[in-house]
Amino acid sequence: MTEKPLILVTNDDGINAPGIRALIEVMNTLGTVYVVAPDSPQSGMGHAITLDSMLFAEKLENTDGPQTEFSCSGTPADCVKIAIRQLLPRKPDLCVSGINHGSNASINVIYSGTMSAAIEAGIEGIPSIGFSLLNYSWNANFEASKTFVKTIAKQVLEHGLPDGVVLNTNIPNKDVEAIKGIKICRQAKANWVEKFDKRKNPQGKEYYWLTGEFVNLDQGKDTDEWALENDYVAVVPIHFDLTAHHFINELRTWELNPKNNKQ
Amino acid sequence: MTEKPLILVTNDDGINAPGIRALIEVMNTLGTVYVVAPDSPQSGMGHAITLDSMLFAEKLENTDGPQTEFSCSGTPADCVKIAIRQLLPRKPDLCVSGINHGSNASINVIYSGTMSAAIEAGIEGIPSIGFSLLNYSWNANFEASKTFVKTIAKQVLEHGLPDGVVLNTNIPNKDVEAIKGIKICRQAKANWVEKFDKRKNPQGKEYYWLTGEFVNLDQGKDTDEWALENDYVAVVPIHFDLTAHHFINELRTWELNPKNNKQ
């Protein structure tokens, strides 16, 4: 590549989160960086988009490096859409999202704003990676993450990714020396068992707080959860063709047509 | 089944939308119905969940049928979580979401609150179906939809669904006589090409409206978009294991480990 790669950086914790600042720092060593990220935290936003309201996207004048930055009032998916269609000089060569403060492994990928931004870029045909650190704290230490982020991003810039595939990368909350390496994994079959903490407001109206416990019943050693528990960085290639191809033939044997007309 | 099936009904257009009222009417003929749905429209919410705020869930006293109804301040995924963990007498035998006012075929499944509710129930091991009518209007006619909804829901109650599989059903905006039947399909590879309409507010600050055009480049005759264009109801079995299994082996050949340690 004669021209430096153009890299879009986004996240769901908001443009001021330490995780995205670490990601910007690494990407500045790999290419020309545009940041388009939410102006406020958007965790748990899933793949929400803003259909019923306007969006603000404001260019920030004083940045801490060579990158160009826009703060956007929308969701992570909105940020990617407006970046690609409106704010960037051309289609980027890479989109990176994160580094999320907290895990997006296993079923968390479904709820994740970080991953929805990465998927949105993937839908647009842009090689795209989501990065998450297994530490929910705002003051998490991203030093070890930077090493792995750089290697993975460089490889994606070099190889590209197949059409429709995005990488979901989760990083153990450890020093770099304690991390054993990178494992390519499948998404563990795990879920959240929620509890609702029921309270009453001063007017006597009931309300609830959502709490939950993460339960991993997947015994496989090829899962992201196994890798993370064993001090590996977990990389899961994901796609957004949700078709359960394995069930199509059986479903075709059902008596689904109310009028008994054959397919 | 000696006991009547317990059916959870939800949606993303809000509890007062004509689409969910039509769905409730059909489900009342099949089982004992609990409705837990958003108190306001939540379209385009993707798989958002409420992590940073409390939830209200209010039982409605005067309903238009035998169903039990709760109006919830959360997202569609929140509604399913609180229904299962807090509001229903036991785990439901079926969850149905919709009938959405507008298509959730092809890539729209990713952005859809209707489908996120169905997927959330699927994660909990509940056979689950999302229904959408290809008419965005509040005054859409759901008469033809009711026929197909009933047949499909009955078949799912009879057969169950494999672990991890949910059905995405889209219905043409036609009279029942004009609909040729049901096709089992794969998700079409289509996407939105967005445009941002840029304006200035009275204070001179720029803002944007998201608009877009749907583009289907998938020529396959086995897709949901093909079925709908040809007057068939499209049923796509979907799953929430996003792993791109076909790319795992190739990805394992990449030089991803910064420390050159082998996996």
Find all residues with CB under 8 Å of B79, minimum gap 6, and list them. Answer: B10, B36, B37, B38, B72, B117
Residues 170-229 of B with CB under 8 A from A: 180-184, 186-187, 189, 191, 194-196, 198-199, 205-210
Percent of chain A scoring above 70 in pLDDT: 95
Residue B60: its H or E element:
strand B57-60
Do the beta carbons of residue A140 and residue A18 sit within 8 Å?
A: yes
Query: Could you give the CA distance from residue A79 to residue A240 in angstroms, rounded to a whole number?
Result: 19
The answer for A44, left when phi > 0, alpha when psi is -120 to 50, beta otherwise, is: left
Q: Domain A6-188+220-251: which CATH class? A: alpha beta
Q: List the beta strands (DSSP E) in A67-218.
A: 68-72, 94-101, 128-133, 165-171, 181-184, 190-200, 206-216
Q: Is A243 in Cβ contact with B244 (below 8 Å)? A: no
pLDDT tens digits for A176-222?
Answer: 999 999 999 999 999 888 888 899 988 888 899 888 888 998 999 99
Query: Could you give the CA distance from residue B103 to residue B86 in angstroms, rounded to a whole number?
Result: 31
Do the beta carbons of residue A44 and residue B48 sit within 8 Å?
A: yes
Higher per-residue confidence, B256 vs A91: A91
Check residue B212 and give its pLDDT.
Answer: 83
Query: Could you give the CA distance from residue B126 to residue B84 in angstroms, rounded to a whole number?
Result: 10
Binding-site entries of A for a divalent metal cation? 12-13, 43, 100
The yes-or-no verdict on residue A263 having pLDDT over 80 is: no
Q: What does residue A27 show for φ and ψ, rounded to 5 degrees? A: -65, -30
Check residue B63 and give its pLDDT.
Answer: 84
pLDDT tens digits for A60-77?
Answer: 998 899 999 999 999 999
Closest Cβ opposite residue A263 in set B86, B107, B181: B181
Q: List the beta strands (DSSP E) in B149-205.
A: 165-171, 181-184, 190-200
Q: Domain B6-188+221-251: which CATH class? A: alpha beta
Q: Is A240 in Cβ contact with B242 (below 8 Å)? A: yes
Q: What does residue A252 show for φ and ψ, rounded to 5 degrees? A: -70, -15
Smallest Cα–Cα separation from A247: which of B162, B63, B74? B162
Find all residues with CB under 8 Å of A197, minimum gap 6, and list them. Answer: A208, A209, A211
Instruction: Output the CA torsion sign for B145, B151, B154, B160.
Output: negative
| Burial zone of B219 (CB within 10 Å; 0-12 exposed, 13-18 middle, 19+ buried) | exposed
pLDDT tens digits for chain B (263 residues)? Answer: 568 999 999 999 999 999 999 999 999 999 999 999 999 887 766 677 777 678 899 999 988 999 999 999 999 999 999 999 999 999 999 999 999 999 999 999 998 999 999 999 999 999 999 999 999 999 999 999 999 999 999 999 999 999 999 999 999 999 999 999 999 999 999 988 888 889 998 888 889 988 888 899 899 999 999 999 999 999 999 999 999 999 999 999 998 876 554 44
Q: How far is CA A194 from CA A84, A106, A209, B47, B123, in A?
A: 37, 16, 10, 16, 12
* Cα-based angle A95, A97, A99 (whole degrees, multiple of 5): 140
Say whether residue A111 is in contact with chain B using an 8 A CB cutoff: yes
The yes-or-no verdict on residue A150 having pLDDT over 70 is: yes
Query: Could you give the CA distance from residue A108 to residue A136 in angstroms, rounded to a whole number?
Result: 13
Identify the three-state secondary structure at position A212.
strand
> Considering only A37-41, A50-54, A93-97, B232-236, which range has the smallest mean pLDDT?
A50-54
| Domain segments of chain B as ranges | 6-188+221-251
Say whether residue B252 is in contact with chain A using an 8 A CB cutoff: yes
**B186 secondary structure, DSSP code:** B
The CB density around residue B229, as the number of other CB atoms within 10 Å, is: 13
Q: Is A77 in Cβ contact with B210 (below 8 Å)? A: no
The CB density around residue A157, as the number of other CB atoms within 10 Å, is: 16
Closest Cβ opposite residue B56 in set A205, A251, A259: A205
Query: Could you give the CA distance from residue A93 to residue B208 in angstroms, rounded to a whole number?
Result: 25
B32: closest CA of chain A, how far (Å): 22
Q: Is B71 annotated as a binding residue?
A: no
Q: What does residue B46 show for φ and ψ, rounded to 5 degrees? A: 55, -145
Cβ-based contacts of A149 with chain B (< 8 Å): none
Check residue A44 and give its pLDDT.
Answer: 66
Instruction: Output the CA torsion sign for A145, A148, A152, A154.
Output: positive
Smallest Cα–Cα separation from A168: which of A223, A130, A209? A130
Check residue A2 and give its pLDDT.
Answer: 63
Query: Could you give the CA distance from residue A180 to residue A184 in angstroms, rounded to a whole number?
Result: 13
pLDDT tens digits for A216-228?
Answer: 989 999 999 999 9
Q: Is B257 in Cβ contact with A181 (below 8 Å)? A: yes
pLDDT tens digits for A2-14?
Answer: 689 999 999 999 9
The interface predicted TM-score (ipTM) is 0.90
Q: Which two tokens stand for residue B29?
A: 């003929």
Cβ-based contacts of B247 with chain A (< 8 Å): 161-162, 165, 237
Mutation site, B36, B42, B49, interface A, largest A CB count within 10 A: B49
**A187 secondary structure, DSSP code:** P
Residue with tokens 């877009």: B212
Query: Could you give the CA distance from residue A195 to residue A176 in angstroms, rounded to a whole number?
Result: 35
Q: Give the pLDDT band (50/70/90) at residue A262.
A: very low
Give the residue from chain B lying closest to A58, CA to CA: B206
Check residue B262 and give its pLDDT.
Answer: 45
Q: Give the pLDDT band (50/70/90) at residue A261.
A: very low
Q: Is A81 in Cβ contact with B111 (below 8 Å)? A: no
pLDDT tens digits for A95-140?
Answer: 999 999 999 999 999 989 999 999 999 999 999 999 999 999 999 9
Residues 20-49 of A with CB under 8 A from B: 41, 43-49
A154: closest CA of chain B, how far (Å): 9
Q: How far is CA A237 from CA A10, A38, A179, A180, A234, in A?
A: 19, 25, 20, 20, 10
Q: What does residue B34 show for φ and ψ, rounded to 5 degrees? A: -115, 130
B146: closest CA of chain A, how far (Å): 11
Q: Is A52 in Cβ contact with B107 (below 8 Å)? A: no
Do the beta carbons of residue A122 and residue A43 sit within 8 Å?
A: no
Say whether residue B4 is in contact with chain A using an 8 A CB cutoff: no
